[in-house]
C-alpha cells in the first residue's frame, strides 16, 4: 500500500511539474526552434545520421535529442490525421520524458540502496525496510529533484541539456550502486549511461564522470576502485553504443571532426568564439536559482558537509567507522558530483545557464540527505529558517504571478518598458506571495514542521508552475516567441495574397535588422528558411519583410523601384511586417 501511494504521488507530482503546459507558449530563443527544425528535416529526409538545418549539415550537437524528437514527431503523425506531428508539445516531449526517467532512476536507486543496506545490517530479515526507507527518503529525493526550477524549466525545453543531465545522472547513480554492491550490471548501466550522454552532448559526459570518480577514489584513498571501474566489457559497451554514429557522421561529413570537436567543444571552452562571456562567478547565482525553492536547504547542506570534512576529515575521507563511512561516502560523492560541473564550466570562456544542469540532481540529493539527517536527529525547524524558506517560496509564487500581471496592462507594455509594472495585478501577486510565505513559515515551526516541509514546498512549486502556464504563458508567447509573427504572416497570406501564383506555405520571408531568435523561430514555424537583407539576401520575388520600426528608409534603399506596402506591426516584439513587390 505504501509503495502504491508513493508511486501515485510521484506520478501525479512529476506528471504535473514536467509535462503540464509543454505547448502553452511557442518555442523560445534561438536553440529551441533550431533543434526542433533539425529533427524535422532529419525525419522528412529519413536520415538518422546527419543533422541538417535548412538543408545544410548542422554538426554542432550529437543526435540523441534529434532522434527522440523524430520519434515524437513520428508517433504524433501516426496518431493525428492530416498533421505533420511537429509542434511545441512534440518538440519538448523528449525533455519531459528524460526528466521523468531521471527522477524514476533516483527513486528506484534509493529504494534499492535501502534494501542493500538493510540486508547487510539485518541479514536474517532481508525483506524488512530500513529507517531510511521508512522515512520515505527515496520519495523525498524524487520530488525534491522534480520541483527544482532548473529541472522544471529544462523539462519544458527542446534542448540537449535535459538528455545529457538524465543520462549523466543515471550513469553516476549506477556507478555508486556498483561501488556499494559490486554488482556488474550496475557498472554496465554506468557505461551505457555515459555512452548515451556522449550521444546527447559529446565528450563532456564521460569527461565529467571521470573527474568525479577520480576525485572520489582519491578522497577515499582506495585506488583499487578506480582500477576496477575500468572494466573492459563496460568500455566495450560504451564504444559499441556511442561510436557507430560518430564514425558514420564523419564518413558522411568530412568536416565533422573540425566543426564538432575543435570548434564546438575545444574552441567553445577555451575562447569566446560564440559570444557567451560571463564572469567566473556566473554559475553561483545560476545554481541557486536552478535549485529554487530548495536553495536555503542546499546552502545549509553544503555548509554542513564542508564543516564535517574540515572537522572530521579523517572519518569523512577514510570511513574509519563503517556506519558513518557509508553516509560520508554518499554525501562526499554527491558534493563532488555537484561541484565538479560548476567548477569545470566556470573555467570555460563560454557560459550558458544550461551547462551546469547536471549538477542540479546532485544538489537535490544533498538536500534530501541533509533533511533526512535532521529528521533522524529530531531537529526542529527554527523560526529564522522557517521564515527564510517561507519567504523564498513566497517570492517564487510572486515571480510566477508577476508575469501574468502584465496581461492586464498588455504584453506590449512589458516589451517596451522592460521593468516591473506596478499596478493592481502586482499588488495581488504580492499579497498572494505573502500569504504563502506566512502560511509556510507558520506551518514549518509546528511540531510536525519537518514532515510538512516537502508537501508545503511542493505546493509552492505547483502553484508557481500553474501560474506561469495558465496566466503568464500568453505574455511569454507574445513577447518572446516567433509563433505570433508566423501566425500574422499566414493570416495576411490567406486573406490578401491567395490570388498570387504561390501559396502562403511558400511565400518568401525576409528579415531586416532582426535577431537570430526571430530568424530561427520563423524558420521553424514557417518550415522554410528566411532570408536576411543584412547579408545581401534580397528575394527577387514578392515577399514578406519583417523589420524593426523605423527601418523603412534603410531597407527601401536596398530595393529601389519596388513597391513597399506596410501591413501591420507587432508591438510586443517591436517589429513591423511589410509586403515587398516583385522585382
- Render pLDDT for 276-303 as a digit per residue (tens, 0 to 9): 567 888 899 999 999 999 999 999 999 9
Mean pLDDT (whole number) for 207-236: 94
Mean pLDDT (whole number) for 41-58: 94
Let me know: does 519 contact 530? Beta carbons within 8 Å. Answer: yes
432 and 566 belong to one structural domain: no
Structural domain containing residue 230? 2-376
Q: How confident is the model at residue 274 (pLDDT cuts 50, 70, 90)?
A: low
Model confidence, pTM: 0.89
pLDDT at position 157 is: 95
Mean pLDDT (whole number) for 410-432: 59
Rounded CA-CA distance 457/445 in Å is: 14
Total of domains in the chain = 3
pLDDT tens profile 461-500: 999 999 889 888 888 888 889 999 999 998 887 665 555 5
Mean pLDDT (whole number) for 208-219: 95
3-state secondary structure of 577: strand
Residues with Cβ < 8 Å from 5, sequence gap 6 or more? none
Q: What is the DSSP letter of 462?
A: H
The C-alpha cell 570534512 sits at 309
- In this structure, what C-alpha cell is assigned to residue 570? 507587432
pLDDT at position 474 is: 86
How far CA 368 is from CA of 13, 295, 322, 374, in Å, comes to: 17, 12, 21, 10
Rounded CA-CA distance 307/287 in Å is: 21
Let me know: does 39 contact 64? Beta carbons within 8 Å. Answer: no
62 and 161 belong to one structural domain: yes
200 and 73 belong to one structural domain: yes
Question: Which comes out higher in pLDDT, residue 500 or 343?
Answer: 343
574 and 545 belong to one structural domain: yes
Residues with Cβ < 8 Å from 533, sequence gap 6 or more? 510, 511, 512, 545, 555, 558
459 and 554 belong to one structural domain: no
Question: Which comes out higher in pLDDT, residue 67 or 414?
Answer: 67
3-state secondary structure of 379: coil
pLDDT at position 419 is: 47
Residue at a domain's end among 465, 480, 495: 480
Residue at a domain's end among 346, 376, 406: 376
83 and 188 belong to one structural domain: yes
Compute the C-alpha angle 166/48/528, nearest 5°: 100
pLDDT of residue 370 exceeding 90, the answer is yes
329 and 455 belong to one structural domain: no
pLDDT at position 327 is: 56
pLDDT at position 406 is: 52
Let me know: does 260 contact 250? Beta carbons within 8 Å. Answer: no
pLDDT of residue 412 exceeding 50, the answer is no
439 and 546 belong to one structural domain: no
224 and 325 belong to one structural domain: yes
pLDDT of residue 247 exceeding 90, the answer is yes
Residues with Cβ < 8 Å from 12, sequence gap 6 or more? none
pLDDT tens profile 304-328: 888 887 776 555 444 444 444 555 7
Mean pLDDT (whole number) for 184-188: 95
Q: What is the DSSP letter of 470?
A: I
Q: How confident is the model at residue 80 (pLDDT cuts 50, 70, 90)?
A: confident
353 and 390 belong to one structural domain: no
99 and 245 belong to one structural domain: yes
Burial class (CB in 10 A: 0-12, 13-18, 19+), 2: exposed
Residue at a domain's end among 464, 480, 496: 480
215 and 130 belong to one structural domain: yes
H or E element at residue 491: helix 483-496
**Residue 386 CA from chain centroid, whole number:** 29
How far CA 394 is from CA of 18, 153, 268, 298, 480, in Å, comes to: 21, 19, 38, 18, 26
pLDDT of residue 437 exceeding 50, the answer is yes
pLDDT of residue 123 exceeding 90, the answer is no
Amino acid at each position: 500500500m505504501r509503495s502504491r501511494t508513493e508511486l501515485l504521488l510521484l506520478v501525479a507530482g512529476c506528471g504535473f511539474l514536467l509535462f503540464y503546459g509543454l505547448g502553452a507558449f511557442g518555442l523560445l530563443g534561438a536553440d529551441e526552434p533550431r533543434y526542433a527544425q533539425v529533427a524535422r528535416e532529419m525525419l522528412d529526409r529519413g536520415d538518422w545520421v546527419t543533422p541538417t538545418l535548412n538543408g545544410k549539415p548542422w554538426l554542432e550537437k550529437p543526435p540523441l535529442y534529434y532522434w527522440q524528437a523524430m520519434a515524437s514527431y513520428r508517433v504524433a503523425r501516426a496518431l493525428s490525421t492530416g498533421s505533420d506531428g511537429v509542434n511545441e508539445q512534440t518538440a519538448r516531449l523528449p525533455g519531459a520524458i528524460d526528466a521523468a526517467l531521471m527522477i524514476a532512476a533516483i527513486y528506484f536507486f534509493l529504494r534499492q540502496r535501502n534494501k542493500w543496506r538493510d540486508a547487510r545490517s539485518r541479514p536474517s530479515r532481508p525483506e524488512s525496510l530500513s529507517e531510511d526507507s521508512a522515512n520515505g527518503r527515496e520519495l523525498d529525493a524524487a520530488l525534491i529533484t522534480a520541483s527544482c526550477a532548473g529541472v522544471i524549466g529544462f523539462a519544458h525545453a527542446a534542448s540537449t541539456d535535459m538528455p545529457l543531465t538524465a543520462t549523466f545522472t543515471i550513469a553516476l547513480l549506477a556507478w555508486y550502486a556498483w561501488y556499494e554492491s559490486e554488482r556488474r550490471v550496475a557498472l554496465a548501466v554506468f557505461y551505457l549511461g555515459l555512452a548515451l550522454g556522449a550521444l546527447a552532448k559529446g565528450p563532456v559526459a564521460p569527461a565529467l564522470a571521470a573527474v568525479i570518480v577520480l576525485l572520489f577514489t582519491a578522497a577515499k584513498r582506495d585506488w583499487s576502485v578506480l582500477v576496477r571501474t575500468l572494466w573492459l566489457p563496460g568500455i566495450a559497451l560504451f564504444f559499441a553504443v556511442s561510436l557507430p554514429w560518430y564514425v558514420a557522421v564523419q564518413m558522411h561529413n568530412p568536416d565533422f571532426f573540425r566543426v564538432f570537436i575543435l570548434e564546438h567543444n575545444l574552441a567553445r571552452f577555451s575562447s569566446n568564439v560564440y559570444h557567451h562571456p560571463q564572469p567566473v562567478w556566473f554559475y553561483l547565482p545560476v545554481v541557486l536559482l536552478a535549485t529554487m525553492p530548495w536553495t536555503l536547504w542546499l546552502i545549509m547542506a553544503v555548509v554542513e558537509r564542508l564543516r564535517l570534512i574540515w572537522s572530521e576529515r579523517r572519518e569523512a575521507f577514510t570511513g574509519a567507522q563503517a556506519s558513518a563511512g557509508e553516509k560520508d561516502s554518499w554525501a562526499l560523492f554527491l558534493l563532488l558530483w555537484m561541484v565538479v560541473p560548476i567548477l569545470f564550466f566556470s573555467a570555460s570562456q563560454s557560459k550558458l545557464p544550461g551547462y551546469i544542469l547536471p549538477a542540479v540532481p546532485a544538489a537535490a540529493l544533498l538536500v534530501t540527505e541533509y533533511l533526512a539527517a535532521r529528521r533522524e536527529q529530531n531537529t526542529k525547524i527554527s523560526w529564522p529558517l522557517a521564515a527564510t524558506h517561507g519567504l523564498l517560496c513566497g517570492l517564487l509564487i510572486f515571480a510566477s504571478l508577476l508575469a501574468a500581471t502584465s496581461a492586464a496592462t498588455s504584453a506590449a507594455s512589458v516589451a517596451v518598458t522592460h521593468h516591473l509594472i506596478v499596478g493592481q495585478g502586482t499588488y495581488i501577486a504580492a499579497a498572494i506571495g505573502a500569504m504563502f510565505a506566512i502560511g509556510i513559515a507558520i506551518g514549518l515551526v509546528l511540531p510536525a514542521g519537518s514532515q510538512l516541509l516537502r508537501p508545503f514546498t511542493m505546493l509552492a512549486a505547483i502553484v508557481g508552475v500553474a501560474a506561469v502556464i495558465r496566466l503568464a504563458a500568453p505574455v511569454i508567447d507574445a513577447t518572446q516567441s516567433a509563433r505570433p509573427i508566423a501566425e500574422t504572416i499566414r493570416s495576411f497570406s490567406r486573406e490578401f495574397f491567395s490570388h498570387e501564383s504561390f501559396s502562403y506555405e511558400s511565400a518568401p520571408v525576409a528579415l531586416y535588422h532582426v535577431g537570430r531568435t526571430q530568424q530561427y523561430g520563423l524558420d521553424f514555424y514557417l518550415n522554410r528558411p528566411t532570408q536576411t537583407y543584412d547579408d545581401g539576401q534580397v528575394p527577387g520575388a514578392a515577399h514578406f519583410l519583417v523589420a524593426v520600426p523605423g527601418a523603412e528608409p534603410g531597407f527601401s534603399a536596398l530595393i529601389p523601384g519596388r513597391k513597399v506596402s506596410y501591413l501591420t506591426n507587432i508591438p510586443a516584439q517591436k517589429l513591423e511586417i511589410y509586403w515587398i513587390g516583385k522585382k
